[in-house]
Structure 1
Amino acid sequence: MMWALYIFTGLVVLAAVLYLMGNYTFWLPFRGAGLPRIVMLHQVTPHTAASGMNMPPQKFEQLLQYLVKKGSVFCFVSELEQYQHQKNVVALSFDDGFMDNYQYAYPLLKKYGAKATIFLATQIEGIEKLTAEQIVEMAESGVVEFGAHTQHHVNLLKLSDDEAYREMQLSRQDVQALTGDCPSFAYPFGRFNERHQQMARQIGFKNAVSTRKKIEAYSAENQFNLPRVSTHGAMNALQMRIALAKGRYKL
């Protein structure tokens, strides 16, 4: 009967391995502490279900606690170049400009001494967005930097080059009018091509982030196509750690 026990034990172990392989990205290589983590977020609110778009405040605080405990060095996206030779660098980034960034994320950033970059789609419709007064307050705090995300949150690939350039340029001007500066850009939906990267450079941005789920060194080659660490509001503590170690999670 011992053979039956061995077979049963083997099947249990195999099932456990398959479960872990299916729910955790263990197969991806670990990325060294010398590579920056640019974390991609959107909403931080308790009023919407946890999702790829929303990390509830409690979960966001857990993320900050973990990063602080690790001795992370927080910087703005625009500062990544000057932190190239430092370890444990983290640049938190929020897309779109949701009001809950002010209501729930901002107090936690101040509590833990963490910096973040918020990419504003300055004329986006269909969301409860940050007010001009909130943007100014956050920018003056030294905790939040604002970048651009086009005016209307458009897919640049669906626009002519002139239209795309105008969306990018005017969104930068909108942010500059509120905060005095707008050093970085985020491509809406992660949709862009080489021409859009050149536009970002010509308009005057220092760098630009994409939605590529990866961790890699900051360089002239990826300066306008920076990857980010993907997150999900329902990820557990282990999945959160794996995402920060490897660049992406799996639920």
Structure 2
Amino acid sequence: MFSGKVVLITGASSGIGAATAINFASKGALLALTGRNASNLQKVAQQCEEKSNIKPLTIIGDLTIDSDVRNILDTTIKTYEKLDILINNAGILATGSIEDTTVEQYDEIFATNVRPVYLLTNLAVPHLIKTKGNIVNVSSLAGLRAFPTVLTYCMSKAALDQFTRCVSLALAPKQVRVNSVNPGIITSDIHVRSGITEEEYPEYIRRMASIHPLGRVGQPEEVADAIVFLASDNASFTTGETLCLAGGRQNCCPR
């Protein structure tokens, strides 16, 4: 399905990014994978190679550093000479309400979840126009619904969703599609990295399962399937979409 297509995925060393990389690899894509954890990134690259017999390009980089963002795009183009699909997946989570967050947390969240997406997309657009490619941003249910205890995260994902809509309109005349996926709770290490301990995590997942109408949380592979769909020709008439993957939670009233 993606044979010969060049796919750049940020945050590819774990969670949704890793599952997405493996999914694209199984469909013959040429991959450029980036992340900060070199060991994990190499493990994901090896899994991808086992799926396709094609070794992915791996680029270690910190998306909060502009020169790293530019290097990620430049290295991808230098290696493959084109770009067909950009997956803006990397992001962090932080907790707190207006009463106990800080402007430093706000700056950190936006410096990771929003600014690099803007810069990398800006740099990638000329190449995507050449290939009539597309972009999939990994947002969150928190971009579509309000949750008071993850204020800065909600704000950053709402900004990402509006970015998706605005850029989709700007690039539609050039036949470049732009969409987002908006997952609910997905099993990944993002929650542990945001402060939940490994001991607390199983109970957290059990509690989150109870607030999703389907009675469970989601898996990274389920989000990866949606990303691959939006990036494929099967979604050729879809742009500006924010696709909710939340087990029905988006329709719930507070309780």
TM range (shorter): 0.3 to 0.5
Structure having the higher Rg:
1
Whose RCO is larger (CA < 8 A, sep 6+)?
1
Whose helix proportion is higher, 1 or 2? 2
TM-score, normalised by the number of residues in structure 1: 0.33
Q: Output the TM-score relative to the length of structure 2.
A: 0.33
